[in-house]
Amino acid sequence: MTRQDCIALDAADPLRVHRLQFALPDNLIYLDGNSLGALPHVVVERLHATLSQQWGTDLIRGWNRHWIDLPTVVGEKIAPIIGAAPGQVICADSTSVNLFKLLAAALQLNPGRTVILSQDDNFPTDLYMAQGLSALVGEARCELRQVPEAQLLNSLNADTAVLLLTQVNFRNGRCHDLQALTAAAHRAGALVLWDLSHSAGAMPIHLDSWHVDLAVGCGYKFLNGGPGAPAYVYVAARHQAAVIQPLTGWMGHAAPFDFDQDYAPGAGMLRFLCGTPSILGLSALDAALDLWADIDLEQVRLKSQQLGQLFIALVAAEPTLGVLDLLSPAVADSRGSQVCYEHQAGYAMVQALAEAGVIADFRAPNILRFGFSPLYTQFVDVWDTVVQLTSLVSNGTYQQPRFQQRGLVT
Protein backbone atom coordinates (compact mmCIF):
# COMPACT_ATOMS: atom_id res chain seq x y z
CA MET A 1 0.00 0.00 0.00
CA THR A 2 1.26 3.45 -0.97
CA ARG A 3 -0.09 6.96 -0.60
CA GLN A 4 -1.02 6.87 -4.27
CA ASP A 5 -3.03 3.70 -3.63
CA CYS A 6 -4.97 5.59 -0.95
CA ILE A 7 -5.67 8.42 -3.37
CA ALA A 8 -6.99 5.84 -5.85
CA LEU A 9 -9.27 4.38 -3.16
CA ASP A 10 -10.66 7.86 -2.51
CA ALA A 11 -11.29 8.39 -6.22
CA ALA A 12 -13.31 5.16 -6.35
CA ASP A 13 -15.19 5.82 -3.10
CA PRO A 14 -18.98 6.03 -3.70
CA LEU A 15 -19.30 8.27 -0.64
CA ARG A 16 -16.62 10.76 -1.73
CA VAL A 17 -19.12 13.41 -2.89
CA HIS A 18 -20.42 13.84 0.65
CA ARG A 19 -17.13 15.27 1.87
CA LEU A 20 -17.94 18.42 -0.12
CA GLN A 21 -20.99 18.94 2.09
CA PHE A 22 -18.83 19.67 5.14
CA ALA A 23 -16.90 22.80 6.13
CA LEU A 24 -13.57 21.11 6.84
CA PRO A 25 -10.53 23.36 7.37
CA ASP A 26 -7.73 23.16 4.84
CA ASN A 27 -4.56 21.33 5.90
CA LEU A 28 -6.32 19.55 8.75
CA ILE A 29 -7.09 15.85 9.14
CA TYR A 30 -10.13 15.36 11.36
CA LEU A 31 -10.36 11.94 13.03
CA ASP A 32 -12.64 12.94 15.88
CA GLY A 33 -16.10 12.82 14.33
CA ASN A 34 -16.96 10.09 16.84
CA SER A 35 -16.82 12.85 19.49
CA LEU A 36 -18.04 15.86 17.51
CA GLY A 37 -19.13 15.64 13.91
CA ALA A 38 -17.88 18.17 11.38
CA LEU A 39 -20.01 21.15 10.37
CA PRO A 40 -22.29 20.63 7.35
CA HIS A 41 -22.68 23.67 5.10
CA VAL A 42 -26.47 23.35 5.26
CA VAL A 43 -26.39 23.89 9.01
CA VAL A 44 -24.80 27.30 8.55
CA GLU A 45 -27.56 28.25 6.13
CA ARG A 46 -30.31 26.90 8.40
CA LEU A 47 -29.06 28.65 11.53
CA HIS A 48 -28.80 31.93 9.64
CA ALA A 49 -32.43 31.56 8.55
CA THR A 50 -33.55 30.51 12.04
CA LEU A 51 -31.86 33.52 13.62
CA SER A 52 -32.55 36.24 11.08
CA GLN A 53 -35.93 35.26 9.68
CA GLN A 54 -37.65 32.86 12.07
CA TRP A 55 -36.56 34.44 15.34
CA GLY A 56 -35.65 37.90 14.08
CA THR A 57 -38.78 38.53 12.00
CA ASP A 58 -41.40 36.03 13.12
CA LEU A 59 -40.55 36.35 16.82
CA ILE A 60 -43.06 34.45 18.96
CA ARG A 61 -45.02 33.53 15.82
CA GLY A 62 -42.13 31.23 15.00
CA TRP A 63 -43.52 28.58 17.37
CA ASN A 64 -46.59 27.90 15.23
CA ARG A 65 -44.87 28.60 11.92
CA HIS A 66 -41.66 26.60 12.37
CA TRP A 67 -40.82 25.18 15.78
CA ILE A 68 -43.46 23.43 17.84
CA ASP A 69 -43.32 20.17 15.86
CA LEU A 70 -39.53 20.07 15.47
CA PRO A 71 -38.98 17.33 18.13
CA THR A 72 -41.25 15.03 16.13
CA VAL A 73 -39.96 16.11 12.72
CA VAL A 74 -36.33 15.56 13.73
CA GLY A 75 -37.17 12.26 15.41
CA GLU A 76 -38.77 10.99 12.22
CA LYS A 77 -35.60 11.84 10.28
CA ILE A 78 -33.51 9.86 12.76
CA ALA A 79 -35.88 6.88 12.70
CA PRO A 80 -34.72 5.31 9.39
CA ILE A 81 -31.07 5.73 10.40
CA ILE A 82 -31.68 3.44 13.39
CA GLY A 83 -34.18 1.11 11.74
CA ALA A 84 -37.37 2.42 13.32
CA ALA A 85 -40.78 2.78 11.75
CA PRO A 86 -42.57 6.14 12.12
CA GLY A 87 -44.03 7.12 15.47
CA GLN A 88 -41.29 5.67 17.69
CA VAL A 89 -38.55 8.32 17.85
CA ILE A 90 -38.61 11.85 19.23
CA CYS A 91 -35.79 14.34 19.66
CA ALA A 92 -35.45 15.96 23.09
CA ASP A 93 -33.13 16.86 25.94
CA SER A 94 -29.74 15.16 26.40
CA THR A 95 -28.74 11.51 26.28
CA SER A 96 -28.33 11.50 30.06
CA VAL A 97 -31.80 12.91 30.71
CA ASN A 98 -33.33 10.48 28.25
CA LEU A 99 -31.58 7.57 29.91
CA PHE A 100 -33.19 8.54 33.21
CA LYS A 101 -36.61 8.66 31.57
CA LEU A 102 -36.23 5.24 29.95
CA LEU A 103 -34.68 3.48 32.92
CA ALA A 104 -37.66 4.55 35.00
CA ALA A 105 -39.97 3.46 32.20
CA ALA A 106 -38.30 0.04 32.06
CA LEU A 107 -38.92 -0.50 35.76
CA GLN A 108 -42.60 0.35 35.20
CA LEU A 109 -42.82 -2.08 32.30
CA ASN A 110 -41.22 -4.91 34.26
CA PRO A 111 -42.85 -4.79 37.73
CA GLY A 112 -41.42 -7.09 40.33
CA ARG A 113 -37.94 -6.88 38.84
CA THR A 114 -35.48 -4.37 40.25
CA VAL A 115 -32.06 -4.85 38.63
CA ILE A 116 -30.52 -2.68 35.93
CA LEU A 117 -27.79 -4.90 34.48
CA SER A 118 -24.86 -3.25 32.72
CA GLN A 119 -21.21 -3.89 32.01
CA ASP A 120 -18.65 -2.33 34.29
CA ASP A 121 -16.97 -0.29 31.54
CA ASN A 122 -20.14 1.12 30.03
CA PHE A 123 -20.10 4.82 29.20
CA PRO A 124 -19.97 6.61 32.56
CA THR A 125 -23.04 8.80 32.12
CA ASP A 126 -25.15 5.69 31.52
CA LEU A 127 -23.96 4.27 34.82
CA TYR A 128 -24.28 7.61 36.61
CA MET A 129 -27.93 7.96 35.62
CA ALA A 130 -28.68 4.43 36.82
CA GLN A 131 -26.87 5.19 40.08
CA GLY A 132 -28.89 8.38 40.46
CA LEU A 133 -32.19 6.59 39.91
CA SER A 134 -31.21 3.92 42.44
CA ALA A 135 -30.24 6.56 45.01
CA LEU A 136 -33.54 8.34 44.45
CA VAL A 137 -35.92 5.40 44.85
CA GLY A 138 -33.74 3.05 46.91
CA GLU A 139 -32.06 -0.24 46.03
CA ALA A 140 -35.16 -2.18 47.03
CA ARG A 141 -36.81 -0.74 43.92
CA CYS A 142 -33.81 -0.16 41.67
CA GLU A 143 -30.36 -1.74 41.86
CA LEU A 144 -27.57 -1.19 39.36
CA ARG A 145 -25.56 -4.37 38.87
CA GLN A 146 -22.29 -4.00 36.93
CA VAL A 147 -20.43 -7.02 35.58
CA PRO A 148 -17.60 -7.61 33.08
CA GLU A 149 -18.73 -7.95 29.48
CA ALA A 150 -17.99 -11.67 29.47
CA GLN A 151 -20.44 -12.21 32.35
CA LEU A 152 -23.44 -10.38 30.88
CA LEU A 153 -25.29 -13.42 29.55
CA ASN A 154 -24.83 -15.46 32.72
CA SER A 155 -25.95 -12.50 34.84
CA LEU A 156 -29.37 -12.21 33.22
CA ASN A 157 -31.87 -13.68 35.66
CA ALA A 158 -35.34 -13.31 37.16
CA ASP A 159 -34.31 -10.09 38.95
CA THR A 160 -33.20 -8.30 35.78
CA ALA A 161 -35.63 -5.60 34.75
CA VAL A 162 -33.53 -4.10 31.97
CA LEU A 163 -30.21 -4.71 30.26
CA LEU A 164 -28.49 -1.34 29.75
CA LEU A 165 -25.69 -1.32 27.17
CA THR A 166 -23.89 0.94 24.70
CA GLN A 167 -23.63 -0.67 21.28
CA VAL A 168 -20.05 0.51 20.69
CA ASN A 169 -17.72 0.81 23.67
CA PHE A 170 -16.37 4.35 23.79
CA ARG A 171 -12.95 3.32 25.12
CA ASN A 172 -11.98 0.44 22.86
CA GLY A 173 -14.48 0.52 20.01
CA ARG A 174 -15.71 -3.01 20.68
CA CYS A 175 -19.13 -3.54 19.13
CA HIS A 176 -21.83 -5.62 20.82
CA ASP A 177 -24.01 -7.99 18.86
CA LEU A 178 -27.12 -5.93 19.49
CA GLN A 179 -29.52 -8.43 18.00
CA ALA A 180 -28.17 -11.44 19.91
CA LEU A 181 -28.01 -9.67 23.26
CA THR A 182 -31.52 -8.30 22.82
CA ALA A 183 -32.82 -11.79 22.17
CA ALA A 184 -30.95 -13.18 25.18
CA ALA A 185 -32.38 -10.49 27.45
CA HIS A 186 -35.90 -11.22 26.24
CA ARG A 187 -35.45 -14.95 26.89
CA ALA A 188 -34.63 -14.02 30.48
CA GLY A 189 -37.73 -11.83 30.72
CA ALA A 190 -35.75 -8.57 30.71
CA LEU A 191 -36.12 -5.48 28.57
CA VAL A 192 -33.20 -3.86 26.74
CA LEU A 193 -32.12 -0.24 26.59
CA TRP A 194 -29.41 0.53 24.04
CA ASP A 195 -27.27 3.67 23.88
CA LEU A 196 -26.57 4.25 20.19
CA SER A 197 -24.45 7.38 20.59
CA HIS A 198 -21.28 5.79 19.20
CA SER A 199 -22.96 3.75 16.45
CA ALA A 200 -25.90 5.58 14.85
CA GLY A 201 -24.75 7.07 11.58
CA ALA A 202 -21.73 4.77 11.34
CA MET A 203 -23.43 1.42 10.75
CA PRO A 204 -26.82 -0.07 9.89
CA ILE A 205 -29.08 -0.54 12.91
CA HIS A 206 -32.44 -2.35 12.82
CA LEU A 207 -34.20 -1.62 16.10
CA ASP A 208 -37.64 -2.75 14.96
CA SER A 209 -36.66 -6.00 13.28
CA TRP A 210 -34.32 -6.84 16.17
CA HIS A 211 -37.21 -6.25 18.62
CA VAL A 212 -35.40 -3.67 20.73
CA ASP A 213 -37.51 -2.15 23.49
CA LEU A 214 -35.85 1.19 24.22
CA ALA A 215 -32.94 3.23 22.89
CA VAL A 216 -31.29 6.62 23.21
CA GLY A 217 -28.55 8.43 21.33
CA CYS A 218 -26.94 11.81 20.84
CA GLY A 219 -27.10 14.11 17.82
CA TYR A 220 -23.58 15.53 17.80
CA LYS A 221 -21.34 12.63 16.80
CA PHE A 222 -21.88 10.83 13.49
CA LEU A 223 -25.16 12.71 12.93
CA ASN A 224 -23.24 16.02 12.79
CA GLY A 225 -25.82 18.10 14.67
CA GLY A 226 -23.28 20.35 16.38
CA PRO A 227 -21.88 20.73 19.92
CA GLY A 228 -24.52 19.83 22.49
CA ALA A 229 -27.05 18.87 19.81
CA PRO A 230 -30.28 17.41 21.21
CA ALA A 231 -30.52 13.69 21.83
CA TYR A 232 -33.29 11.29 20.84
CA VAL A 233 -35.50 8.64 22.39
CA TYR A 234 -36.78 5.43 20.81
CA VAL A 235 -39.62 3.53 22.44
CA ALA A 236 -41.09 0.57 20.59
CA ALA A 237 -44.74 1.19 19.75
CA ARG A 238 -45.83 -1.80 21.83
CA HIS A 239 -44.62 -0.10 25.01
CA GLN A 240 -45.59 3.52 24.56
CA ALA A 241 -49.06 3.55 26.10
CA ALA A 242 -47.97 1.56 29.16
CA VAL A 243 -45.61 4.09 30.74
CA ILE A 244 -45.51 7.64 32.01
CA GLN A 245 -41.92 8.79 32.13
CA PRO A 246 -41.01 10.50 35.43
CA LEU A 247 -39.93 13.91 34.07
CA THR A 248 -43.48 15.06 33.45
CA GLY A 249 -42.74 18.49 32.05
CA TRP A 250 -45.31 20.61 30.27
CA MET A 251 -44.19 19.74 26.73
CA GLY A 252 -45.00 16.10 27.43
CA HIS A 253 -48.57 17.00 28.45
CA ALA A 254 -51.48 16.02 26.23
CA ALA A 255 -52.47 19.69 25.91
CA PRO A 256 -49.60 21.87 27.12
CA PHE A 257 -51.26 25.15 26.24
CA ASP A 258 -54.40 24.35 28.21
CA PHE A 259 -52.21 24.90 31.29
CA ASP A 260 -54.04 22.28 33.35
CA GLN A 261 -52.88 21.88 36.93
CA ASP A 262 -52.68 18.09 36.66
CA TYR A 263 -50.48 16.13 34.30
CA ALA A 264 -51.95 14.03 31.50
CA PRO A 265 -49.45 12.32 29.18
CA GLY A 266 -49.32 13.19 25.52
CA ALA A 267 -50.10 10.59 22.89
CA GLY A 268 -47.36 8.21 21.74
CA MET A 269 -43.85 9.62 21.80
CA LEU A 270 -45.02 13.11 22.82
CA ARG A 271 -45.11 11.91 26.44
CA PHE A 272 -41.32 11.55 26.35
CA LEU A 273 -40.83 15.28 25.93
CA CYS A 274 -40.15 17.34 29.02
CA GLY A 275 -39.29 21.05 28.90
CA THR A 276 -39.23 23.64 26.14
CA PRO A 277 -36.86 22.41 23.41
CA SER A 278 -33.74 24.26 22.29
CA ILE A 279 -34.82 25.49 18.86
CA LEU A 280 -31.36 26.51 17.66
CA GLY A 281 -30.01 23.04 18.46
CA LEU A 282 -33.00 21.30 16.92
CA SER A 283 -32.80 23.41 13.78
CA ALA A 284 -29.13 22.62 13.30
CA LEU A 285 -29.69 18.89 13.75
CA ASP A 286 -32.74 18.98 11.48
CA ALA A 287 -30.65 20.45 8.66
CA ALA A 288 -27.75 18.05 9.25
CA LEU A 289 -30.07 15.05 9.00
CA ASP A 290 -31.14 16.05 5.49
CA LEU A 291 -27.73 14.80 4.33
CA TRP A 292 -28.80 11.23 5.12
CA ALA A 293 -31.71 11.11 2.69
CA ASP A 294 -29.74 9.31 -0.05
CA ILE A 295 -26.99 7.59 1.95
CA ASP A 296 -26.64 3.80 2.02
CA LEU A 297 -25.66 2.77 5.54
CA GLU A 298 -24.22 -0.48 4.24
CA GLN A 299 -21.74 1.58 2.20
CA VAL A 300 -21.01 3.68 5.28
CA ARG A 301 -20.26 0.57 7.33
CA LEU A 302 -18.07 -0.96 4.62
CA LYS A 303 -15.98 2.18 4.27
CA SER A 304 -15.74 2.52 8.05
CA GLN A 305 -14.34 -0.99 8.29
CA GLN A 306 -11.93 -0.41 5.40
CA LEU A 307 -10.59 2.79 6.97
CA GLY A 308 -10.07 1.03 10.29
CA GLN A 309 -8.36 -1.98 8.75
CA LEU A 310 -6.07 0.27 6.73
CA PHE A 311 -5.11 2.21 9.83
CA ILE A 312 -4.34 -0.94 11.83
CA ALA A 313 -2.30 -2.41 8.95
CA LEU A 314 -0.24 0.76 8.44
CA VAL A 315 0.51 1.10 12.14
CA ALA A 316 1.51 -2.57 12.36
CA ALA A 317 3.83 -2.18 9.36
CA GLU A 318 5.77 0.68 10.99
CA PRO A 319 8.34 -0.66 13.51
CA THR A 320 8.55 2.70 15.27
CA LEU A 321 4.90 2.42 16.25
CA GLY A 322 5.43 -0.91 17.99
CA VAL A 323 5.31 1.07 21.25
CA LEU A 324 1.55 1.41 20.75
CA ASP A 325 -0.68 -1.41 21.97
CA LEU A 326 -3.82 -2.05 19.92
CA LEU A 327 -6.82 -1.85 22.26
CA SER A 328 -9.60 -2.21 19.69
CA PRO A 329 -10.61 -5.55 18.18
CA ALA A 330 -8.49 -6.40 15.14
CA VAL A 331 -11.51 -7.98 13.42
CA ALA A 332 -13.56 -5.31 11.63
CA ASP A 333 -16.97 -6.85 12.37
CA SER A 334 -16.27 -6.61 16.10
CA ARG A 335 -15.38 -2.93 16.00
CA GLY A 336 -17.28 0.32 15.61
CA SER A 337 -15.96 3.25 13.60
CA GLN A 338 -12.89 3.92 15.73
CA VAL A 339 -9.47 2.41 16.40
CA CYS A 340 -7.83 2.81 19.80
CA TYR A 341 -4.27 2.32 21.03
CA GLU A 342 -2.72 2.47 24.47
CA HIS A 343 0.47 4.25 25.50
CA GLN A 344 1.45 5.81 28.81
CA ALA A 345 2.06 9.11 27.00
CA GLY A 346 -1.18 8.89 25.01
CA TYR A 347 -2.38 12.35 25.96
CA ALA A 348 0.85 14.03 24.89
CA MET A 349 0.87 12.12 21.61
CA VAL A 350 -2.65 13.30 20.79
CA GLN A 351 -1.66 16.89 21.55
CA ALA A 352 1.45 16.63 19.37
CA LEU A 353 -0.67 15.21 16.55
CA ALA A 354 -3.04 18.16 16.82
CA GLU A 355 -0.15 20.60 16.43
CA ALA A 356 0.89 18.66 13.34
CA GLY A 357 -2.59 19.03 11.84
CA VAL A 358 -4.23 15.74 12.87
CA ILE A 359 -7.16 15.89 15.30
CA ALA A 360 -7.80 12.69 17.24
CA ASP A 361 -8.76 12.41 20.90
CA PHE A 362 -7.62 10.95 24.20
CA ARG A 363 -9.49 8.94 26.78
CA ALA A 364 -8.17 8.34 30.27
CA PRO A 365 -6.06 6.76 31.43
CA ASN A 366 -3.85 6.20 28.37
CA ILE A 367 -5.95 5.77 25.20
CA LEU A 368 -5.34 7.37 21.79
CA ARG A 369 -8.65 7.23 19.94
CA PHE A 370 -8.97 7.65 16.17
CA GLY A 371 -12.50 8.02 14.81
CA PHE A 372 -13.49 7.51 11.19
CA SER A 373 -16.54 9.35 9.84
CA PRO A 374 -17.08 7.74 6.45
CA LEU A 375 -18.92 10.70 4.95
CA TYR A 376 -15.80 12.85 5.07
CA THR A 377 -12.78 10.81 6.22
CA GLN A 378 -10.51 9.90 3.31
CA PHE A 379 -8.18 6.94 2.87
CA VAL A 380 -5.32 9.36 2.26
CA ASP A 381 -6.13 10.92 5.65
CA VAL A 382 -5.34 7.57 7.24
CA TRP A 383 -2.02 7.34 5.40
CA ASP A 384 -1.00 10.88 6.34
CA THR A 385 -1.99 10.36 9.98
CA VAL A 386 0.27 7.34 10.31
CA VAL A 387 3.12 9.33 8.72
CA GLN A 388 2.65 12.11 11.29
CA LEU A 389 2.30 9.66 14.16
CA THR A 390 5.49 7.85 13.11
CA SER A 391 7.37 11.14 12.93
CA LEU A 392 6.41 12.38 16.38
CA VAL A 393 7.17 9.01 18.00
CA SER A 394 10.52 8.66 16.18
CA ASN A 395 11.58 12.18 17.10
CA GLY A 396 10.17 12.13 20.61
CA THR A 397 8.28 15.34 19.79
CA TYR A 398 5.43 14.45 22.13
CA GLN A 399 7.80 14.56 25.12
CA GLN A 400 8.06 18.34 24.95
CA PRO A 401 6.57 20.06 28.02
CA ARG A 402 3.80 21.92 26.16
CA PHE A 403 2.17 18.63 25.22
CA GLN A 404 1.89 17.53 28.86
CA GLN A 405 -0.48 20.32 29.97
CA ARG A 406 -4.04 19.04 30.09
CA GLY A 407 -7.11 21.09 29.28
CA LEU A 408 -10.48 20.52 30.90
CA VAL A 409 -11.65 18.65 27.78
CA THR A 410 -9.49 15.80 26.48
Query: Per-residue confidence at 102, pLDDT binned at 50, 70, 90?
Result: very high
Closest CA to 116 of 33, 31, 214, 211: 214
HSE at residue 281, side-chain half, CA atoms within 13 A, is 17
pTM given for the model: 0.97
Q: What does the pLDDT look like over 348-402, one tens digit per residue?
A: 999 999 999 999 999 999 999 999 999 999 999 999 999 999 999 999 999 999 9
Q: What does the pLDDT look like over 119-142, one tens digit per residue?
A: 999 999 999 999 999 999 999 999
* C-beta neighbour count of 311 within 10 angstroms: 24
Sequence-distant (≥ 6) Cβ neighbours of residue 147 within 8 angstroms:
117, 118, 119, 120, 155
Average pLDDT, the chain: 97
Q: What does the pLDDT look like over 264-302, one tens digit per residue?
A: 999 999 999 999 999 999 999 999 999 999 999 999 999
CATH class of 47-294: alpha beta
- What is d(CA 349, CA 355) in angstroms, rounded to the nearest whole number? 10
Query: Can you list the pairs that 342-350 forms with residues at least 24 positions away whose Cβ atoms lie under 8 Å?
Result: 342/366, 342/367, 342/368, 343/368, 345/398, 345/399, 347/403, 347/404, 347/406, 347/410, 348/398, 348/399, 348/403, 348/404, 349/389, 349/392, 349/393, 349/398, 349/403, 350/410
pLDDT of residue 235: 98
Give yes or no on whether 3-30+296-403 and 47-294 have one common fold: no
Provide the residue ranges of all domains of the chain, joining segments of one domain with +: 3-30+296-403, 47-294
Sequence-distant (≥ 6) Cβ neighbours of residue 1 within 8 angstroms:
310, 313, 314, 383
- What is d(CA 282, CA 366) in angstroms, rounded to the nearest whole number? 35
pLDDT of residue 124: 97
First to last CA, the chain: 32
Sequence-distant (≥ 6) Cβ neighbours of residue 249 within 8 angstroms:
273, 274, 275
Q: What does the pLDDT look like over 171-217, one tens digit per residue?
A: 999 999 999 999 999 999 999 999 999 999 999 999 999 999 999 99
pLDDT of residue 29: 98
Q: Which residues are catalytic?
A: 123, 195, 220-221, 369
Are the beta carbons of 405 and 355 closer than 8 angstroms?
no
Query: Does residue 161 carry a pLDDT above 90?
Result: yes
pLDDT of residue 221: 98
* C-beta neighbour count of 242 within 10 angstroms: 10
Instruction: Report, at the CATH architecture level, how domain 3-30+296-403 is classified.
Output: Alpha-Beta Complex (3.90)
Query: Per-residue confidence at 410, pLDDT binned at 50, 70, 90?
Result: confident
Rounded to 5°, angle at Cα 206 from 200 and 207: 90
Q: What is the percent of the chain with per-residue pLDDT over 90, rounded to a whole number?
A: 99
Q: Write the DSSP symbol of residue 200.
A: B
Sequence-distant (≥ 6) Cβ neighbours of residue 208 within 8 angstroms:
83, 84, 85, 88, 236
Coil/strand/helix, residue 375: coil
